[in-house]
């Protein structure tokens, strides 16, 4: 904050008791102008998503590829960029989470889509192994990733 004489514009010292402030040494004026500057910064970010469907089909099962790239807050209140691509034709799943400030990759997963189980809405659901044996806990991997975001 700066203080100026309202009559001549000379910069003056601010005093705690403004009622008893001395007159301006240049012009003798007692009126003061107080200048305060505030600055704010805003950033806009957007994202995109896509779905590629089989030609001529309108049902959900006809989606052969989909993905998103968007910004969202992480569990530790940082802004992260989340990129996710699902390719059903080639049985591929890719997800990358990057810290926006540092550029560090927090989480990356590239695997066959049929191996990507126990995530999202399937959390908590056990998965049977291919031999029909006991269910495996697939959430331990998720818990490890959740602590990193």
Per-residue pLDDT tens over the stretch 23-60: 999 999 989 999 999 999 988 889 999 999 988 877 76
97-107 burial: b if 16+ Cβ within 10 Å, else e: bbbeeeeeebb
Which has more confidence, 6 or 43? Answer: 6
Q: What is the pTM of this model?
A: 0.55
- Cα distance from N-terminal residue to C-terminal residue, the chain: 40
Q: Kindly indicate the confidence band of residue 124, based on its pLDDT and cuts at 50, 70 and 90.
A: low
Q: Would you state the pLDDT for residue 139?
A: 37
Whole-angstrom distance, CA of residue 80 vs CA of residue 44? 14
Position 138 pLDDT exceeds 50: no
Which burial class, exposed, middle or buried, applies to 92 when counting CB atoms under 10 A from its CB (0-12, 13-18, 19+)?
middle
The tens digit of pLDDT for each residue in 76-112 reads: 888 999 999 999 999 999 999 999 999 999 999 999 9
Cα 55 to Cα 82: distance, rounded to the nearest angstrom = 28
| Cβ-based neighbours of 144, under 8 Å, separated by 6 or more | none
Cα dist from 106 to 40, 78, 148, whole Å: 29, 11, 7
Is the pLDDT at 17 greater than 60? The verdict is: yes
**What integer pLDDT is reported at residue 14 of this predicted model?**
83
Contacts of 145 (CB under 8 A, 6+ apart): 107
């Amino acid at each position: 904050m700066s203080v100026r004489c309202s009559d001549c514009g000379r910069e003056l010292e601010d005093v705690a008791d403004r009622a008893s402030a001395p007159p301006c040494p240049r012009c003798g004026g007692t009126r003061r102008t107080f200048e305060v500057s505030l600055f704010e910064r805003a950033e806009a970010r957007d994202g995109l998503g896509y779905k590629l469907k089989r030609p001529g089909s309108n049902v959900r099962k006809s989606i052969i590829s989909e993905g998103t790239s968007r910004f969202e807050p992480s569990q530790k209140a940082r802004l992260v960029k989340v990129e996710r691509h699902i390719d059903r034709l080639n049985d591929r799943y890719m997800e990358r989470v990057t810290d926006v400030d540092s550029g560090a990759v927090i989480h990356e997963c590239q695997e066959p889509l049929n191996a990507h189980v126990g995530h999202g809405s399937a959390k908590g659901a056990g998965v049977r192994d291919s031999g029909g044996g006991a269910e495996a806990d697939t959430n331990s991997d998720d818990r490890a990733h959740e602590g990193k975001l």
